[in-house]
Every structure is written in structure tokens, then in C-alpha cells.
Structure 1
């Protein structure tokens, strides 16, 4: 079979996600333990993926073990990861559009600007722009969009590490399923906290960031 049917009814061609070079699949079914070993995850993760729609060849009922196709499961997993990345990218795009639609000012800034005339505000903005440009050329400031792109790349690596850490701990240290679940929850919490801090850091559109400063000291 060269296609699989996804939960939403769409058909995915396996040729879209061929196995990596050097990985062979002669059609021999794999059990849950073998598939977990192939993907470097825990058996609990395989069970979770099955519940999310990963294809199975047979089994799973009346004490019969699951059987999986390596090609099918690999294509399903890669498609799922691409879909999650696309969803994240779309969310980031919508967030960026929303940020551009509003100029976020804190209470002190709003009060200060309210006291300025239009001419004063224009002069202040021009002076601030040139000051930031000079500081950027010296390397004291970095554009927020450039820093965000770099942090997003780092966060992808960090997020992947957080996602696989419970599986690694289970396989390496033989911790209990309850401990795996607690570790997973903690990793998810940490990942969310880091993402929120990144979002808060870049909540001001068009900002430039002073290297070495803390959040709250960022020039606008």
C-alpha cells in the first residue's frame, strides 16, 4: 500500500515522506516495542500516537499485539510534524499581524506622549530613530525581528528536547510511568513558560533590543 488514510479522511501518499537514506523496509511488520526503538521514543508515546491516528496493520484487541508498517508510521509522523509546524507558523503570522495593528504603549509612555504636540512627537520620533540606528550600527542594538528569528530556531531545538526528555529518562533510567507523566507535564510547563517569555519580549512591533538589557528596559 502506497497511501494511508488520515483521520480527517484525506489520503497521504507515502512517496511524499520516503524513509531516510540507509533505512530499509522489506514490509516486515514491527511490534510496539520495535517501533518505539526505531523512532527513539517510549512505548507510551507509540500508544499515544495510535490514539491520534497513526496507522496500524493489525491487532490492539483481545490481547493481540499491534503490528505496524515502518513506512506508513514514518510518513504519518512526518506529516504530523509538518502540520504542527504549519499551525505554529500561521499562529505566529496572525500574532505578528495583530501586533502591527496596535501600537502597544504602557501607561507612562501614553501619558508622556499625550503631553507632546504633533511637532514635538515628530521630532522626538526622528531623534529616537537616528539614535537607534547609530546604536544598531555599533552593535549595541539588534532588530527584534532578527532576534526573534534566531530565538525561534533555538526554541524549536529546545522544544524538541523537552518533548523527548521524558522518553529518554524512561529508557535511560527506567523510571515509572507515573514519573514519566510528571516529567512530561513539567517539560510542557517549562516549554510554555519559555514561549510566553519570548512572546512578551517581542510584544512591541518594530522594536530594537539592547544587548544585555532585561525585559522592561527595552527601547521602543
Structure 2
């Protein structure tokens, strides 16, 4: 069967991915600071109070954190995911074009794996691992002084899902959360943000590494 895929350097895409990951991580740090501000604000009130009890100046402070920090962070997180998936598509297309050894999934499926519930727990990881190992084998990196470092991919995946699980609110069924409930959620959120930041740093190294290996393999 004729190979219908064409190799294109993922270098430019990788720079865009890394740029938006860095922006997202900057807002992650801002989100940590903003959450601490919210914590201090809620501490000034009774545990049973809700947002309706906030003084105007405190309401403005909490709103500023939400609009100026949490919303932009969510926006750049979504944009970074979209560009990352475009990069994933490109490097898998290149893997097919180079006819790398191993199970190199079709570009469309390599992206779809991230979007399908349950499937996205395992197959994105396996897909990226197969691709990177195939590229490293073609580039003969195993015998050089620069190993493939697949442990980075495992670490990033574990950290990413750990961050996601910690970010799930503990009181999804509550109609109106009290400040005691909100303060109880903040420690998990802060832990989630710290792990998310570390996972993001790992992902930057992964994008750079996979891109470099693939260009060498080509």
C-alpha cells in the first residue's frame, strides 16, 4: 500500500505549542496567587456565609480574580490544548510518512484518542510512546549520549491526570456553597495547580524532545 503521508517539519508548530503552554503556566501561577487572595477574603466571614454576604469591595476583589485570572487561564489552557492536538496530528502524520517502526497510529485517531472518554486514559500515552520510540530508533538515539527519555512522557501523563482529578470540586451537588465549603476546596485546587505547573514544564521538554528526534529521524 502506497504511503500517502508527507513529512513536514513540526518545528514551527512546536514553538507555538511551547509559547502557549508557557502563557498558560504563567496564568497558573497567577491563579494560585488569586486563590490565596480568595482564601484570605473568605476568612473574614463566618463559615456559613455565602457570596450574598460579601461586602461590595470584597465582591469586587473576588470578581477581579475570576475575570482577570481564572477566565484567561481557562482560555489559554484551551488554546494550548488545541495547538498541542494540531502538533500531535502533525508528528503522527510525519511518523506515518517516515514509516517508523512500531504501532504508529493514524493522525486522526491520535487526536481522537484525547477526546474519547476512558480511551483518553491510556491510548494517547501509548500513541505518543510508540511514536517517540519509533523516531528514536530511526534516529539511532539509543546508541548516542542523548537517550529517548520516555520517562518524561510517563511522568507528564501521571501528573496531568493527577492535576485533573484534584481539580474536580468536592461539592458538585451543592446549590450554593458556603465559605467553609469553598475554603475546603482551595487546598485541593492549589495542589492541582502546582502539579499542573510541573506537568506543563514536563510537556515543554516532551514537545521539544519529540520534535528534535523526529527531525533527526527525517
Scaled by the length of structure 2, what TM-score is found? Answer: 0.29
Greater strand content: 1
Larger radius of gyration: 1
Higher RCO (C-alpha 8 Å, min separation 6)? 2
